[in-house]
Amino acid sequence: MSRDSIPPLVSRPLQITAEALPLAETVWEVCCLGTDPIVSTPPMTLDFTATTVSGSTGCNGFSGPLTQDGATLRLGPLAAGRRVCTREAYDLERRFLDLLARVEQAEIVDDGTTLVLRDGAGIALITAVRP
C-alpha cells in the first residue's frame, strides 16, 4: 500500500452533549496509559454520560462528575472502591486514576472506534477503544 492510498486520520473533538450521547454511552476499554499499551484482566473501562464518568480500574469501580467549560473537560473528583488488589493491579489503578485527574480534552478518532483523553497541552494520557 502506498503512502498516498492511506486514508487520513479522522478526528473531531468530543463534546458530551445530547447529540454526542450515542458515542458517549459506550463502555470504552482502555488500551494505553500514555504511550504504554496495557493488558488488564478484567479490563479497565470508561463509561460517560452527559454529567458523569464511571468505569473499572481493572480491580475497583470508580465514578465521579464530568464537567465541561468550553473546550475544557474535567473529570472528578473521582471516588473508587477499596477492594484488595495485587500490587501490580494497584499500581496500574493508581496510574489510571492519576491520569484521569489530568484530563482536559477528549477526542474520538478512527471513525468513532477510538477515544483519546489528553491533558491541556494535547498529550495523550489515556487511549480506549470500543470493545
* 23-28 mean pLDDT: 74
- Find out whether 108 and 115 touch, Cβ atoms under 8 Å: yes
* Amino acid identity at 3: R
Name the percent of the chain lying above pLDDT 90. 47
pLDDT higher than 70, residue 24:
no
Task: Spell out where 38-99 has E strands.
Answer: 45-48, 52-56, 61-69, 72-75, 79-80
- What pLDDT sits at residue 99? 97
**Looking at the predicted structure, is the pLDDT value of residue 43 above 50?**
yes
Say whether pLDDT at 2 is over 70: no
Please, which pLDDT band fits residue 71 given cuts at 50, 70 and 90? low
- Cβ 65 vs Cβ 76: under 8 Å: yes
C-alpha cell at 99: 491520569
Average pLDDT on 11-19 reads 46
Report, as an integer, the average pLDDT of 73-88.
89
Query: Is the confidence at residue 4, as pLDDT, over 80?
Result: no
| Mean pLDDT across 77-94 | 90
Say what the pTM is: 0.80
Please indicate whether residue 15 or residue 91 has the higher confidence score (pLDDT).
91
List the one residue out of 121, 120, 96, 118 whose CA is nearest residue 107.
118
